[in-house]
Amino acid sequence: MNKRSITILQLYPRDMNIYGDWGNTLVLQRRLEWHGYSVNLTEYNPGDSFPDDVDIIVGGGGQDSGQDIIQNDLLAISQNLHKLANDGVPMLVICGLFQLFGKFFKTQDGHIIEGISLLDLETHAGPERLTGNIITENKEFGEIIGYENHSGQTFLGAGVTPLGKVIKGAGNNGQDDSEGARYRNVIATYMHGSLLPKNPAIADFLIDKAVTRKYGEFTPSVIDDRFAEQARNVAVKRPR
Ligand code: GLN
């Protein structure tokens, strides 16, 4: 019998893939294989035709210039992304795409990069970059550990909840202790690192949602996360 398969779509790897964001996709691929699934890895860049059959979407960070480049294309596939998100497709969007899944990002020079308003939030470039190691707390995932580097200060509206509460670091805006955002099975965060190697609970959340949506059930394998644990232990001790 053919193995059950899951399709992962990496959004804009050409323009939005700094800080090792591609590593998140590799973690999803490897853990899916460990859980017994085969993986179909696809990428989407500006001008490509948007695939119909997608189970998980991953999008990375980018400089303001990368966000400018993808803006029009992202707006053109907005409907596809809204439809998939509202249908429960799990997504992980980091930093630059976190901002553009919201309403807009207003840059330091005052121009507006419009987003797709899938997430009820807006971002304004602040006077200083918020940079350094960050730890947040989330009831479902425990401590979330990563690294942030953004000028944008993001403010959440009522339609989303924060992903975590900041324990160490700046988070969305350095003011209200929120970090990231959640809407349905969409997870958005400023955390690079990559995020998923140090936070396998989030990887398995995305996998669980994708597999359950496609096949009706998900029975996880027991995975040896010793190395992830070691990485977490080191990362939490690092200075800001
Ligand atoms: N250009 C955006 C900012 O600085 C996003 C940066 C990023 O993706 N790291 O806020």
**Could you report the per-residue pLDDT of 127-177, keeping only the tens digit for each?**
999 999 999 999 999 999 999 999 999 999 999 999 999 999 999 999 999
The answer on pLDDT for 198 being more than 90 is yes
pTM, two decimal places: 0.96
Q: Is 111 a catalytic residue?
A: no
pLDDT digits (tens, 9 = 90+) for 79-92: 999 999 999 999 99
Q: Kindly list the structural domains of the chain, giving each domain's residue range(s) and its CATH number in brackets, ordered by start.
A: 5-237 (3.40.50.880)
| Residue 193 reports pLDDT greater than 80 | no
- What's the 95 CA to ligand 1 centre distance in angstroms? 6
Task: State yes or no: pLDDT of 69 exceeds 90.
Answer: yes
Q: Indicate whether 2 pLDDT > 70.
A: no
Q: What is the pLDDT of residue 73?
A: 98
User: Does position 1 have pLDDT exceeding 80, yes or no?
Assistant: no
Share of the chain above pLDDT 90, in %: 91
Residue 148 CA to residue 171 CA, distance in Å, equals 8
CA of 150 relative to ligand 1 center, distance in Å: 4
pLDDT bucket at 20, cuts 50 / 70 / 90: confident
Residue to mutate (ligand 1; options 112, 149, 153, 195; most atoms within 8 A of CB):
149
Q: Specify the length of the chain in residues.
A: 240
| Residue 3 pLDDT | 85
Q: How high is the pLDDT of residue 200? A: 97
Tell me if residue 192 is catalytic.
Answer: yes
Q: Please tell me which residue in 95, 111, 124, 150 is annotated as part of the active site.
A: 95
- The 3-state secondary structure of the chain reads CCCCEEEEEEECCCCCCECCCHHHHHHHHHHHHHCCCEEEEEEECCCCCCCCCCCEEEECECCHHHHHHHHHHHHHCHHHHHHHHHCCCCEEEECHHHHHHCCEEECCCCCEEECCCCCCEEEEEEEEEEEEEEEEEECCCEEEEEEEEEEEEEEECCCCECCEEEEECCCCCCCCCEECEEECCEEEECCECCCHHHCHHHHHHHHHHHHHHHHCCCCCCCCCCHHHHHHHHHHHHCCC
pLDDT computed for residue 100 by the predictor: 98
Q: What is the mean pLDDT of the chain?
A: 95
**pLDDT band per the 50, 70, 90 thresholds, residue 108:** very high
Taking residues 180-206, report their average pLDDT. 96
CB atoms within 10 A of CB 175: 11
**For 27-58, how does the pLDDT look when each residue is reduced to its tens digit (9 = 90+)?**
999 999 999 999 999 999 999 999 989 999 99
- Residue 25 CA to ligand 1 center (angstroms) comes to 20
- CB-based pocket (< 6 A), ligand 1: 61-64, 67, 95-96, 149-152
Q: Which of 170, 204, 171 is nearest to 90 (CA)?
A: 204
pLDDT for residue 78 is more than 60: yes
